[in-house]
A and B are shown apart, each in its own frame.
Chain A
Amino acid sequence: MPATVRIPTSLRSLTDGSAVVEVQPGKLDELLGDLATRYPELGERLLEDGRPRRFVNIFVAEDDIRFLDGVDTPVGEGQVVTILPAVAGG
C-alpha cells in the first residue's frame, strides 16, 4: 500500500494538476527524491540540496517534520505527507 503526498493548490501546476500523488513508503528524503524525479520542477521548488526549503512545511500525518526526525522521518504505508506553504490571501 503506497503513501500519499498532498500537493497544495499553489504547486499543482507542477504536478500536472494532481492534488494527491502516490509514493512508495520509506524515509521522507527518499520519498521526496522520488517525487522530484517524477516532477523535476516541483523538486526544484521544494528542495535545495535535497533538503526542504525554508518556506515549505512538511507534515507526516499530523506532525511537522521539524519536530519529528526531519527528512529522516519514516513514512509508513497509507500515511499522508502534507506539503504546506503559507498562504496570505484574505
Chain B
Amino acid sequence: MTKSYRDVVNEAKARIREITPTDLEHRLDELTVLDIREADEFEQGAIPGAIFSPRGTLESSISAHVTDPETEIVLYCAGGARSALAAATLEDMGYTNVWSLEGGFTRWKNDGHSWRAPESLSSEQRGRYSRHILLPEVGEEGQIKLLDAKALVIGAGGLGSPSAIYLAAAGVGTIGIVDFDVVDTSNLQRQILHNVDRLGRSKVESARETLTALNPDVKVETHDVRLSADNVLEILGQYDVILDGGDNFPTRYLVNDASLHLRKPVVHGSIFRFEGQATIFDPYQGPCYRCQYPEPPPPELAPSCAEAGVLGVLPGIVGSIQAVETIKYILGIGETLVGRLLCYDALTQEFRTLNIRRDPDCPACGDEERPPRLVEYDATCAYPGAVARLN
C-alpha cells in the first residue's frame, strides 16, 4: 500500500513541532532560520537573516550551518509541508530543537511580517531600474541596497511630496510617511503627492496611493499621527534614514533629539517663500540641528508657509535634493551634505554652500553618552531637555 503526499506530510507534522509566524518574529534574533526552498523561490524574497539551504542538499549541508545538535533551528518553505518533512529528517539525524514554520513563507508574508527584498533583481526590476543599473556607482548591487532600505519621510507636504515620489521611483523598498493632516485645496499648488480626487482624505493614504501606483515594489508604511515625545522613537526607530520635511520648529527639534537617541541620520530640508536649505544631520559625525540652530527665530520672524506664502516649485527643488542625499547615503557614494548647508535662492537662482560644524558645547549632542530627554517643545523650543539631563 502506498501513502499519498498528504499522508506523509501529515505524519511528519504529527511528530515534529511547528512555530507560528508571530512566535518566530519575536525570537528571530535567537533562532537559526533555514530557508529550504529552491534558489528561484529564495531570490524572490526571504525572512531577514535566513540561511539559504535547499531541501535537496539539507542533510549534507546542515553540519556546515549548525554545529551544535541542540541549536534551536526553524525550517521554512513556501507553505509548511516541505519544511515539516525536512524537520522530521533533521530529528532523525539527531537535531533535538527543530521547528517547522506553520504556513511557511506565504503565511509569514501575508501576516505582514517583515521580509527581505530579493537579493537579485527580477527581470521586471532589471527593466524598471535599468538606468540605475547602467551607472557604475549604482549597478545591480546598489539597486538591491535601495530595495532593502527603509526611509521615513516626515510630512506628506511640499518637501515630502517630491522626495517620497523620487524615493519610490528609485526603488527605495520601504517608505514610511508621517502626517496627521488631510488634503486641502491650498496644498495642491505644491504638494504633488495629492490631487483633487483626494481632497478631504488623509494625506498619508493619498501618499500611499500615489507611491504604490508609481512603483508596486515599494512598501509604504503610513503613520497618521502627530509626532510627539511619546511616539517619536518608536516611529523613527523602524527606519534607516529620516527625511525631515516638517513644517514647524517644535517637530524639527524633537526629531533632532530622537535622531541622537537612535543615531540615525536626518536629511534636512526647510523652505521659506523663495529660499530653501538642505543638509544632513548625522548624529555625532557632524553637527546636529541644535548645533546649527541653538534657538528658532521668534515667531513673528518665522511665519509659516500658510502665513507667509511659498513659491510652489521651491519645495520641488529642495525636496528633490533631500531625495538625492538620501539615495547617496543609502548607496554610500559621493560627498554628502554632512557638515555643509546648501542654501538655495529661487529669486537669484543661486546655490551656495556654507560650512557648518558640530558645537562641542551643544546642549543636545555635546555629551554622546547622554542624549537629551525627549520633551514636547512649545514655539520657543527652549531646552528643558538639557536641564533635565544635566540635573
Contacts and interface: CB of A to CB of B under 8 A. Distances in A.
B274 interface: yes
Q: Which of A19, A54, A89 has the largest number of chain B CB atoms within 10 A?
A: A89
Contacts of A82: 343, 352, 354
A54 B248 CA distance: 18
B302 A64 contact: no
Contact of B249 (A11, A67, A88): A88
Interface string B286-302: 00000011111110011
B227 to A, nearest CB: 13
A37 interface: no
Q: Is the interface of A mostly helix, strand, loop or mixed?
A: mixed
Contact of B298 (A19, A55, A62, A87): A55
Contacts of A10: 272-273, 297, 301-303, 308
A89 B354 contact: no
A80 to B, nearest CB: 9
Interface size class of A (residues with CB under 8 A): 20 to 34
A66 to B, nearest CB: 7
A54 B301 contact: no
A24 interface: no
Interface in A36-82: 45, 54-57, 59, 62-64, 66-67, 82
A64 B305 contact: no
B306 to A, nearest CB: 9
B131 to A, nearest CB: 29
A8 B275 contact: yes
B357 A89 contact: no
B297 A55 contact: yes
B13 interface: no
A88 B294 contact: no
A63 B354 CA distance: 6
B269 interface: yes
A87 B292 CA distance: 12
Given A9-B272, A10-B302, A90-B159, A55 B355 contact: no
Contacts of A67: 357
Nearest to B292: A57
A65 to B, nearest CB: 11
B343 A84 contact: yes
A59 B340 CA distance: 12
Q: Which of B275, B304, B357 has the largest number of chain A CB atoms within 10 A?
A: B275
Contacts of A89: 158, 247, 270-272, 304-305, 308, 310
Contacts of B273: 9-10
Contacts of B302: 10, 85-88
Nearest to A13: B301
A88 B274 contact: no
Nearest to A20: B348
A88 B159 CA distance: 11
A85 B273 CA distance: 14
B387 to A, nearest CB: 16
B355 A90 contact: no
Nearest to B318: A90
Given A54-B295, A63-B355, A90 B348 contact: no
Given A85-B302, A88-B248, 4 more contacts: A10-B273, A11-B301, A84-B343, A86-B302
18 contacts: A9-B272, A55-B294, A55-B298, A57-B293, A66-B359, A84-B343, A85-B293, A86-B302, A87-B272, A88-B252, A88-B296, A88-B304, A89-B272, A89-B304, A90-B158, A90-B245, A90-B270, A90-B315
